Chains A and B, each alone.
Chain A
Amino acid sequence: MAEGFDIDHLAKLARLSLTAEEKALYSSQLNQILGHFQALADADLPATIDDARVVNEDALRSDEPGLVLGAEAVTRIAPASRDGQISVPRVVDDES
């Protein structure tokens, strides 16, 4: 099947830096995966919601607050932190 994607664009969205060999390999593998999904999409099935994946409201959680990790534990698993917050490279959202 024709490629329904742009491997460079996908790599960029996934923040992956790929070599030419990897691009070729992953393109072919992704095509196989998409092929499987296309086969599923082509299957003649009733257009209803899959009951096997439907739960009723018993599967919901009650609104009871539980335990938290604490800022110390949260920041410990981050590469960098400061004053109880996770430190990241500057991201700018404000007026520039």
Chain B
Amino acid sequence: MSNVPSDWEVVIGLEVHVQLHTRAKVFASSPWGFGKAPNEQVDPVVLGLPGTLPVVNREAVEKSILFGLVVGSSVPEHCSWDRKNYFYPDNPKNYQLTQKDFPVVVGGQVEIELPGASRNVMGEHKFIRIHHAHLEEDVGKLSHAGSGSLVDYNRAGVPLLEIVTEPDLRSSAEAEAFLRSLVAMLTQAGVADCDMEKGQLRCDCNVSIRRRGADKLGTRTETKNLNSISSVRDTVIYETARQIRELEAGHSITQETRGWNAELGRGYVLRDKEDAHDYRYFPDPDIPTLKISRETVARLAKLVPENLYDRQRRYVEKLGLPYTAASVLVNDRALAEWFELAVAAHPTNPSGIANLVANDLLRDLAASAGAAGSFDEAVPAPVSLSSCPIKPAQLAGLVKLTDEAVISKQQAKEVFAEMFKTGQDAAAIVDAKGLRQNSDTGELEKIVQEVIADPAVAKSIAEYRAGNEKAINALKGPIMKCTQGKANPVLIDQLLRKFLG
């Protein structure tokens, strides 16, 4: 961030915990979902009762592999699960099933885009390396009431993919951009929903600072359990400033676990669970090592959607879209695919279609739906296109009518509003409202000749003939007036130039 003195460099690594989009839990068949009464989504396997055995959910494994393919990791031949042992009431079995030595995702990278100088300028792109991602079980939820605490195990056993980055991030803006990009990739591939309000994405944030140019990393602190992009950004800014203050005062940084109070906007040292770091990991004897077949990998590879920045580059370079429209479309896969269907129906003006989709359609859809929660307050949640009253080919039809000057751009807005209300074709609305512009050359020629014969416009004609191109525009208004605004403006222009030239 701009408030970091230039002789210091901040180094950030993130651990992102994402609940995978499955119906059953990761090692048990218990269903899971948000908003159920406490302990109603628990079965004997979740609780680790005697005689039960965990069996891994195929969908959770495949969603994890799909994520690996999305970030370009090489899918390992095998993966296996380990026990992480600790006593804490959020953990019903006294161990958490996780992957320590052989995780399901190894390596990969996430492309990020930093904010540009302004909204319509694309910012710098960077690649952030993924160290690995492992598939584990979520833990229960604790709430504190009076002298005791209450435990709800509904969340225990929910499939959780922990995505660990290399310490490649260098500013709060990069951390923010990374999370935006990651959320887009996860949701566009159908790996996870990433709904912050439901706690589906939580983040641990490792921050250290060092003198710019130094090779060695400084001592880091880990701030745990951040549940929004703004909390991650604020934590990085806060921790950076705090660590610089400490070091410049001659103190050293203690490697510690911290919490973040979003309301007060400050971090605090977590009272360490005693010896909590000594997890005594060992391979889980109940779950055999899993061999991941290359057939499965090949099948899942077909489900990898186009990377959002590849899509953005294609829209700008091949379709000629302005960056602003392209960047809006690519954030929402369904919207982008909707746009592409419209372009397929009318390939000659992608920008015209993009502007209507990114501005008018998005605005009206958002207004009719009411935005849902998302991890990122700054980016609206994807709109639902299933209930969109306008079909892609219909929007293409509207742009085509505008391109052929059957209606003006101004009239197109009116027709669009009517289409959104009724779901009718653009042409039907244009005809019903009598909006079709007059393209009858004979009739227009007469009107044009009448208008230029009027002494009131003689001055404009003289100016045009003297070389002032713009003077011709002063003649168009009266012609439009004579035709009640229905004259084809392209035709008017042609006729004026013919008669005056």
Please measure, in the bound complex, the distance between the C-alpha atom of A62 and the C-alpha atom of B147, giving whole angstroms: 42
Cβ B293 vs Cβ A61 within 8 A: no
A4 at the interface (CB under 8 A from B): no
B78 at the interface (CB under 8 A from A): yes
Cβ B151 vs Cβ A65 within 8 A: no
B47 at the interface (CB under 8 A from A): yes
Cβ A55 vs Cβ B275 within 8 A: no
Using Cβ atoms and an 8 Å threshold, which residues of chain B touch A94?
144, 259
Please measure, in the bound complex, the distance between the C-alpha atom of A84 and the C-alpha atom of B270, giving whole angstroms: 29
Closest Cβ of chain A to B307, distance in Å, is 26
Please measure, in the bound complex, the distance between the C-alpha atom of A65 and the C-alpha atom of B45, giving whole angstroms: 13
Cβ A9 vs Cβ B275 within 8 A: yes
* Residue in B23, B39, B61 whose CB lies within 8 Å of A74: B39
Contact A93-B150, Cβ < 8 Å, known A55-B291, A60-B57, A70-B40: no
B31 at the interface (CB under 8 A from A): yes
Contact mask for chain A residues 67-96; partner B; CB cutoff 8 A; 1 contact, 0 none? 111110011000000111111111111111
Cβ A88 vs Cβ B144 within 8 A: no
Please measure, in the bound complex, the distance between the C-alpha atom of A85 and the C-alpha atom of B156, giving whole angstroms: 13
Cβ A83 vs Cβ B259 within 8 A: no
* Residue in A12, A49, A62, A64 whose CB lies within 8 Å of B275: A12
Closest Cβ of chain B to A90, distance in Å, is 5
Q: Assign chain B's interface to a size class.
A: 35 or more
Most chain B CB inside 10 Å of its own CB: which residue of A9, A15, A57: A57
B152 at the interface (CB under 8 A from A): yes
B358 at the interface (CB under 8 A from A): no
Closest Cβ of chain B to A36, distance in Å, is 15
Q: Which residues between 332 and 348 of chain B lie within 8 Å of chain A, taking CB atoms?
A: none
Contact A71-B24, Cβ < 8 Å, known A13-B280, A53-B289: no
Contact A56-B293, Cβ < 8 Å, known A92-B271, A94-B144: yes
Name the residue on A nearest B274 (C-beta): A12
A39 at the interface (CB under 8 A from B): no
Cβ A62 vs Cβ B58 within 8 A: yes
Cβ A71 vs Cβ B56 within 8 A: no
Using Cβ atoms and an 8 Å threshold, which residues of chain A touch B24?
61, 63-66
Using Cβ atoms and an 8 Å threshold, which residues of chain B touch A50?
289
Q: Which residues between 179 and 226 of chain B lie within 8 Å of chain A, taking CB atoms?
A: none
Using Cβ atoms and an 8 Å threshold, which residues of chain B touch A15?
87
Cβ B39 vs Cβ A66 within 8 A: no
Please measure, in the bound complex, the distance between the C-alpha atom of A9 and the C-alpha atom of B280, giving whole angstroms: 12
Q: Which residues between 268 and 297 of chain B lie within 8 Å of chain A, taking CB atoms?
A: 268, 270-271, 274-275, 278, 280, 288-293, 296
Name the residue on B nearest A86 (C-beta): B151
* Residue in B56, B60, B151, B259 whose CB lies within 8 Å of A95: B259
Using Cβ atoms and an 8 Å threshold, which residues of chain B touch A55?
288-291
Closest Cβ of chain A to B262, distance in Å, is 11
Cβ A93 vs Cβ B23 within 8 A: no
Please measure, in the bound complex, the distance between the C-alpha atom of A85 and the C-alpha atom of B292, giving whole angstroms: 39
Cβ A60 vs Cβ B47 within 8 A: no
Contact mask for chain B residues 242-267; partner A; CB cutoff 8 A; 1 contact, 0 none? 00000000000000000101000000
Please measure, in the bound complex, the distance between the C-alpha atom of A12 and the C-alpha atom of B56, giving whole angstroms: 32
Closest Cβ of chain B to A34, distance in Å, is 13
Please measure, in the bound complex, the distance between the C-alpha atom of A15 and the C-alpha atom of B87, giving whole angstroms: 8
Please measure, in the bound complex, the distance between the C-alpha atom of A90 and the C-alpha atom of B146, giving whole angstroms: 8
Cβ A83 vs Cβ B78 within 8 A: no
B149 at the interface (CB under 8 A from A): yes
Using Cβ atoms and an 8 Å threshold, which residues of chain A touch B259?
93-95
Using Cβ atoms and an 8 Å threshold, which residues of chain B touch A90?
144, 146-149
Name the residue on B nearest A95 (C-beta): B268
12 A-B pairs within 8 Å (CB atoms) are namely A49-B78, A56-B290, A60-B57, A60-B61, A62-B58, A66-B29, A68-B43, A69-B43, A71-B40, A90-B144, A91-B149, A92-B144
Closest 8 CB pairs between A and B?
A66-B29, A65-B31, A63-B59, A60-B58, A85-B150, A71-B39, A86-B151, A74-B39
Q: Which A residues are within 8 Å of any B CB, using their own CB?
A: 9, 12-13, 15, 49-50, 53-57, 59-71, 74-75, 82-96
Instruction: Supply 12 further A-B pairs (C-beta < 8 A) apart from A12-B274, A65-B31, A74-B47.
Output: A15-B87, A54-B288, A57-B58, A61-B58, A67-B29, A71-B42, A85-B38, A85-B39, A88-B89, A90-B146, A90-B147, A92-B271
